[in-house]
Amino acid sequence: MVNEDRTPRVVVGIDGSDNGQAALEWAAAEAERRGVPLRIVHALGMPLIVSAYGGPARFEPTEEIRGQATEVLRNAVEHVGRARPGVGTETVTALEEAPLALLRQCHPHDLLVVGTRGMGTVKAVFVGSVSVRVAAQAPCPVVVVPSHGGAPATTGLKRIVVGVDGSRNGRRALGLAVSLAAEAEGELVVVHSWEVPYPYDPVAMTAAGYQPQEDLFEKQSEELVAELLAEAIDEQRDDVDVDVTVVRTRNGPVNAVLEAAEGADAIVVGSRGRGTVRGLLLGSVSQGVLHHSAIPVVVLPRHADED
């Protein structure tokens, strides 16, 4: 059942794996910070039956399968109770596949948290993993939490990195990053990657006997970032005081964001910006960051509520 009462929640998908555990721990910490309930979802992925004489239906799980699901959820609730006793929990056992189950549990005011593997590896980005599918289609921000051999992921938000490119989704991602940094009283690192196009490429210009005009692109980058930051801060409902660091570089956008994220707690990206590849569930930059990031990545899907 979709969260129709508009009460904000943190929703997390678990499957009993180390990656699911990392997502659970991050989600519980964030629910505690926000003071909202934690909804824990375990999807069974029961086969779908289609009959010519009736609507589609799913196989009912056996008692053994239901028992395993109950055990997974009970362990999760007990873990949250020990680690974050102030967090209220509710559990859902869904018959559907994990992506559909998680999407049905989300509301625009929620935050959805998933692991990188277990329910579906993020390295399978071109064939549609759980994390990529929900990050592209959810009605709310999605956090993809990596796990390092079962070690818990960082749960703070003291240093947040966001990539900007001037696109509408990029602007919305920056707005979300400003909001998260302000709530956590943390530092915001804004990354803008710009390229010098031909014929202003330094090598080509030098070979042709001209001086490259890189200063022009540097200035344009500076002006764009300043405009985007002013816009994002102005759109906040409350006055915000965020410590902002700006990184402007000619490095490729994926590498630029990942390098700036060393030592950070989270990366914020839009689901699609400029320079995306047609046919991908997510934009090429978002996919690249998810594929290689060692820290949680917050994705703001293009379907997410504007609020």
% of the chain exceeding 70 in pLDDT: 79
Bridge-partner residues for 187, per DSSP?
A: 159, 243
* pLDDT at position 154: 62
- Count structural domains, the chain: 2
Considering the domain architecture, whether residues 17 and 115 belong to the same structural domain is answered as: yes
Provide the CATH number for the domain around residue 265.
3.40.50.620
Q: Is the pLDDT of residue 101 over 70?
A: yes
Considering the domain architecture, whether residues 174 and 103 belong to the same structural domain is answered as: no
In-domain check, residue 151? no
Considering the domain architecture, whether residues 257 and 195 belong to the same structural domain is answered as: yes
In-domain check, residue 196? yes
In-domain check, residue 62? yes
Domain of residue 109: give its range: 10-145
In-domain check, residue 5? no
Considering the domain architecture, whether residues 179 and 47 belong to the same structural domain is answered as: no
* pLDDT at position 40: 97
Considering the domain architecture, whether residues 45 and 166 belong to the same structural domain is answered as: no
Domain end call among 117, 145, 173: 145
In-domain check, residue 73? yes
**Higher pLDDT among residues 53 and 304, named by residue:** 53
Considering the domain architecture, whether residues 175 and 294 belong to the same structural domain is answered as: yes
* pLDDT at position 285: 83
Considering the domain architecture, whether residues 174 and 210 belong to the same structural domain is answered as: yes
In-domain check, residue 281? yes
Considering the domain architecture, whether residues 186 and 117 belong to the same structural domain is answered as: no
Cα-Cα end-to-end distance for the chain = 22
Q: Is the pLDDT of residue 188 over 90?
A: yes
Considering the domain architecture, whether residues 48 and 107 belong to the same structural domain is answered as: yes
In-domain check, residue 55? yes
* pLDDT at position 301: 83
Considering the domain architecture, whether residues 175 and 245 belong to the same structural domain is answered as: yes
Considering the domain architecture, whether residues 201 and 266 belong to the same structural domain is answered as: yes
In-domain check, residue 152? no
Domain end call among 120, 145, 170: 145
Considering the domain architecture, whether residues 137 and 24 belong to the same structural domain is answered as: yes
Q: Is the pLDDT of residue 122 over 60?
A: no
